[in-house]
Amino acid sequence: MSQPTIHLEGKVAIVTGASRGIGESIARTYAKAGAKVVLASRKLEGLTEVQKKIEAEGGEALAVTCHTGSREQIDQLVEKAVERFGKVDVLVNNAATNPYFGPMMLVEELAWDKTFEVNVKGYFYTTRAVVRHLQSRNAPGAIVNVASVAGQMAMPLQGVYAMTKAAVISMTKTLAMELGPANVRVNAIAPGLVDTKFASALTANDEIREMVLSRMAIKKIAQPEDIAGIALLLASDQGSYFTGECVVVDGGWTIG
Ligand SMILES: NC(=O)c1ccc[n+]([C@@H]2O[C@H](COP(=O)([O-])OP(=O)(O)OC[C@H]3O[C@@H](n4cnc5c(N)ncnc54)[C@H](OP(=O)(O)O)[C@@H]3O)[C@@H](O)[C@H]2O)c1
């Protein structure tokens, strides 16, 4: 009897923020599942390292520098993906920023704008570029937005970042409704605390780490691989009836 397998054979996926952390793990998982993967972030060096790892694991990948705050670079990213692999089927919006840590009352406009530019506009414009490509082929597709539990709860000192993640969850639901008839599914993942560079200020802070751990059902900080499995299901045909959802992957931190 053959085993049921979740796979991405024949699919091409773009993963933003793929040079490390959660994005790297998703990209490598997708490649192992059979997808051709386009790796995007601002700096080529990290992307090339991930490309080499994927190739050593028997997969196929293309590294493309792209600042997701730039619409021009987003359009070029999709063009380069199509040029190399002929099409795009899956987009993972994962690249995000969090330049300000402090009370919301003291945030400066520059930090506010930067956070919204990358975390909200970046996700939207990358989605729009990929969806326009899907529509030009009359093809189905899957969008996976990496949000955060920060978008669903009070998040003192990270309020602006949290607002952008709430916006991503809202965008996910509306786009799922608007694009569903065209067979494009849109889902979000809300990780809790994951051991990456992005969260190092939190994971390295004994007080914050212990506070979060004490509220978790599973008593460990997630590794990026703990998030990648859900991202695989959401992108795959095995997840074909799943849309408009935000899957919380937080080890039970926010159960209640
Ligand atoms: N770690 C956590 O605890 C946690 C929890 C909940 C949600 N998340 C979410 O998970 C996602 C990934 O975070 P992570 O923890 O994996 O972070 P990470 O390890 O710091 O990786 C961030 C990635 O994004 C890229 N990046 C940053 N700004 C970019 C921009 N403007 N344009 C293109 N690429 C950009 C970085 O590469 P370059 O420097 O080369 O651009 C890097 O590849 C984010 O959406 C974050 O909000 C993380």
76-102 pLDDT per residue, tens: 999 999 999 999 999 999 999 999 999
Residue 225 alpha carbon to ligand 1 centre in Å? 14
CATH number at 46 reads 3.40.50.720
100 is catalytic: no
pLDDT tens sequence across 97-116: 999 999 999 999 999 999 99
**Is residue 217 assigned to a domain?**
no
Residue 93 alpha carbon to ligand 1 centre in Å? 10
Out of 84-93, 156-165, 197-206, 233-242, pick the least confident. Answer: 197-206
Give 4's pLDDT tier (boundaries 50, 70, 90).
confident
Backbone angles phi, psi at 141, to 5 degrees: -165, 170
**Is residue 59 assigned to a domain?**
yes
Residue 181 alpha carbon to ligand 1 centre in Å? 31
Residue whose CA is at the smallest distance from ligand 1 atom 19? 21
Strand order in the sheet with 141-146: 60-65, 36-41, 12-16, 90-93, 141-146, 184-191, 246-249
**Is residue 132 assigned to a domain?**
yes
pLDDT tens sequence across 145-171: 999 999 999 999 999 999 999 999 999
- Cα 255 vs. chain centroid, distance in angstroms? 22
CB 236, CB 179: distance < 8 Å = no
Residue 212's contacts (CB-CB under 8 Å, 6 or more residues apart) are 192, 193, 202, 221, 253
Among 42, 48, 198, which residue has the most ligand 1 atoms within 8 Å of its CB, making it the best to mutate? 198
**Is residue 235 assigned to a domain?**
yes
By residue range, what is the domain housing residue 160? 12-194+225-249
Among 22, 127, 225, which residue has the most ligand 1 atoms within 8 Å of its CB, making it the best to mutate? 22
Residue 123 is predicted with a pLDDT of 99
**Is residue 66 assigned to a domain?**
yes
| Residue 198 per-residue DSSP state | T
Number of structural domains, the chain?
A: 1
**Is residue 3 assigned to a domain?**
no
**Is residue 120 assigned to a domain?**
yes
The C-alpha atoms of residue 153 and residue 138 are separated, in whole angstroms, by: 38
Q: Which residues line ligand 1 (CB under 6 A)?
A: 16-23, 41-43, 46, 66-69, 94-97, 118, 146, 148, 191, 193-194, 196-199
